[in-house]
Structure 1
């Protein structure tokens, strides 16, 4: 499989995709203190980030554990719930946003662990760094960078998490190759993302807003499996979440995008040798 998006998926130029995504998340970080990462830009979208996170599968303890400002109500699942994090591990969050999942991960890995968040939007990184002191942890740091070119050393990470971000990349095979590179032998990937269940109509796959809204960039399960295998991963498991249809329906006022995408957990492992 090449790095190009398949014919049934997004057909927008890679530079245009990046611009649309960067502009959207810059706005979320600076102009709207709480907004939805997915779907339209309705004024009330994501007005209750804690409530939105509960819909995505986070518990009350998760929501209460993180100081205000980090939870932006973003995502399509709860990757920390499937990651099986252990004390002392190093965790990398791809597309870390305001840092919500990073701070939850820091609780699990403890003072001997480390959590690194990478985001390509300077405004998001700035906001996340401000949240470090508010959450009283020295175990979390945030780096500016693209998930296709991670500012992380080879073989230095135990676990990679991500929440509805990889679908935004125009070069997904490169994302998985980078994930493989930075994981230690035996390291694992535990991601929440959307996968495509039906071909997109032209007005979706040619719409930059649909890319930035976590829809038009989604790949099929078979495509994701192929990309992971090509990168070198084993023990691949992709589990669609039918219940996600309930919140995905809210992502677009003009169409029911749950006809085309579903949230899924994506897990894989770098072989030990």
Structure 2
């Protein structure tokens, strides 16, 4: 899929999600009518209910981890959330930075920014803002943030070199990121890669894990460390929508896998 087509699919799908009023319960990235369309298996978004700052109205069930858990966010920090959606992780981060810090969310889907601002207006918080922008070319000054977080977003960005380069640029010297994302091991069947719904569902846009780490290091980051990982199991009935029985057997018998990971690295 070409970069511009992938961006269009993601923007349309997540714009639709933002405009829905039916997402009252979530089981993860692929809950019911959410980002995976006909794919109805559940991703492994971590439990937020007991997390300080959790805002249920801002939780659209689109994550694959809990990056704030390992982000080392401190009072007074300036935090940036990439692909902030309806603001869920921003509200959690705000509880950690306190009144002295600030949190900025960036998203390239206008409907998501609108949803996040509506959620923010209900809180009265003055130290969170949501801006419209592309992660590959962020309208933000260099050396600005102490911590960058993101939750199941960078795998959807076509040019991950640019994305991590931009993360490096906006971080202060000595700053760090903590990202929850999806990676693959082995080879993902071409038919899965070509499924647009899977691209918008956080799976087929994922990179091989080793390539992911290579990009991070090439952009100048040091000490990348995986804090948490979990394999994502896709039910056979879902796989059979894209694979023949023979292809399914090969896929299951090989060294293939899709993982949710949370990792950090420093500038």
Which TM-score tier does this pair reach, normalised by the shorter chain?
A: 0.7 to 0.9
Q: 2:37 aligns with which of 19, 25, 41?
A: 41
Secondary structure of 1:265's aligned partner: strand
| Alignment-derived partner of residue 245 in structure 2 | none
| Alignment-derived partner of residue 14 in structure 2 | 25
Question: How do 1:62-211 residues align onto structure 2 when only pairs under 5 Å count?
Answer: 62=51, 65-211=53-199
Asked if structure 2 preserves the Cα contact closer than 8 Å seen for 1:98 and 1:128, the reply is yes
Q: Does 1:61 align with 2:55?
A: no
Q: Does 1:262 align with 2:259?
A: yes
| CA distance in structure 1 between the partners assigned to 2:235 and 2:2 by the alignment | 27
| CA distance in structure 2 between the partners assigned to 1:112 and 1:40 by the alignment | 38
Q: What displacement does 1:219 show?
A: 0.9
Deviations 1:9-40 (A, max 9, x none): xxx11111101101110010002542653463
Secondary structure of 1:210's aligned partner: helix
| CA distance in structure 1 between the partners assigned to 2:221 and 2:154 by the alignment | 16
Structure 2 residue runs of 5 or longer lacking an equivalent are 241-247
Asked if structure 1 preserves the Cα contact closer than 8 Å seen for 2:224 and 2:263, the reply is yes
| CA distance in structure 2 between the partners assigned to 1:164 and 1:71 by the alignment | 13
Asked if structure 1 preserves the Cα contact closer than 8 Å seen for 2:41 and 2:234, the reply is no
- Total equivalences in the alignment: 248
Greater per-residue helix proportion: 1
Q: What displacement does 1:251 show?
A: 11
| CA distance in structure 2 between the partners assigned to 1:174 and 1:112 by the alignment | 31
| Alignment-derived partner of residue 209 in structure 2 | 221
| CA distance in structure 2 between the partners assigned to 1:250 and 1:157 by the alignment | 40
| CA distance in structure 1 between the partners assigned to 2:38 and 2:196 by the alignment | 16
Structure 1 residue runs of 5 or longer lacking an equivalent are 1-11, 47-51
Q: Choose between structure 1 and 2 for higher RCO, CA contacts under 8 A separated by at least 6 residues.
A: 1
The TM-score with structure 1 as length reference comes to: 0.83
Structure 1 residues 240 and 66: alpha-carbon distance in aligned structure 2, compared to 1, 3 A threshold: closer
Across the aligned residues of Structure 1 and Structure 2, the Cα RMSD in angstroms comes to 2.5
| CA distance in structure 2 between the partners assigned to 1:240 and 1:110 by the alignment | 26
| Alignment-derived partner of residue 9 in structure 1 | none
Deviations 1:167-225 (A, max 9, x none): 00110010000000000000001000011112111111112211111111111221111
The TM-score with structure 2 as length reference comes to: 0.85
